[in-house]
Amino acid sequence: MPTVLITGTSSGFGLVTTVELAKRGWNVVATMRDLGKRTELDRAVAAANAGKLVRVEQLDVTDPQSIDRAIAAVDLQGRPLDAVVHNAGVAVGGAFEDLTDAQVRRVMDVNYFGVLALTQRLLPALRAQRRGRIVIVSSEAAFAGQPANSPYCASKWAIEGWAESVAYELEPFGIEIVLIEPGAYRTNIWESSPRVLPETSAYWPLLRHLEVTIETYVAKLARDPVEVAKAIANALDAPRPRFRTAVGPAARFLHLARGKLPSRVVRKIFGRFFALNKVRW
């Protein structure tokens, strides 16, 4: 049985991916920053009758000591780690000028530097066994900028550039990198992310408009996150996975549009979709 470590499994993609991989016979080390939030995962694993294949550990990808403890726990199981799924992620909504430095850095620390820190810690063992698969949950936000979401978009653009570069270095050791790029899915990142919407903001008309239109967009178009879990599991099971997999219609469209349509055209498409012409400044 292969073994995989997954980050951010208390909800969303991480939770359903844990269940999907356990159902496929993977040993899963399901990690989360706050073990007090494991109840939903425990229920889902029990319902799938997969408890024997799932082990829950604490892991904060921004804390080097936490990373060390989680990896030590995996080593104690006596099984080599075959793969890691980098799923932990955060966002903050708001106009860039209104955000604090701490809010912006938090997004980058989790979504970008956290992936780098955990990967770097795992690489010596993966190189020694000359095999391994590193799966990164990216986003459609890696293909085009989004208003009031600049830190999150920047973190996804950054992680994709890093992944494309480090793939050259790891290929000789049999280590593969895979990017999974979902569109809008029903996960709690929409509710859990802070939104900075001060009424005194110079950008208040835009922010208020987006608050309403994005909620409508998510309610109408957000899809079942199990689709993403299956895409991740397929990438881990495949003999030769694709480097990039866009999941969902919006992500596939933006994936095709990237590099083929001018940025100005893409912004116009986004502007019409979110009816930005109706914003009254």
Q: Which sequence positions are flagged as catalytic?
A: 152
Which residues make Cβ contacts (< 8 Å) with residue 237, sequence separation at least 6?
Answer: 24
Tokens 């055209």 sit on residue: 265
Sheet holding 132-137, edge to edge: 54-58, 27-32, 3-6, 83-86, 132-137, 175-182, 244-247
- Ranges assigned E (strand) in 74-183: 83-86, 132-137, 175-182
Closest-CA residue to 248 (of 202, 212, 203, 217): 217
- Can you tell me the distance from the alpha carbon of 51 to that of 144, in angstroms, rounded to the nearest whole number? 40
Beta bridge partners of 178: 135
Neighbour-count burial of 127, counting CB atoms closer than 10 A to its CB (0-12 exposed, 13-18 middle, 19+ buried): middle
Torsion sign, CA atoms 113, 118, 121, 123: negative
* Contacts for 70 with CB less than 8 Å, ≥ 6 apart: 5, 29, 31, 57, 58, 59
Which secondary-structure segment (H or E) carries 208? helix 204-221
CA-to-CA dists, residue 261 to 159, 254, 255, 272, angstroms? 22, 10, 11, 16
In eight-state DSSP terms, residue 55 is E
In contact, 30 and 14? CB cutoff 8 Å? yes
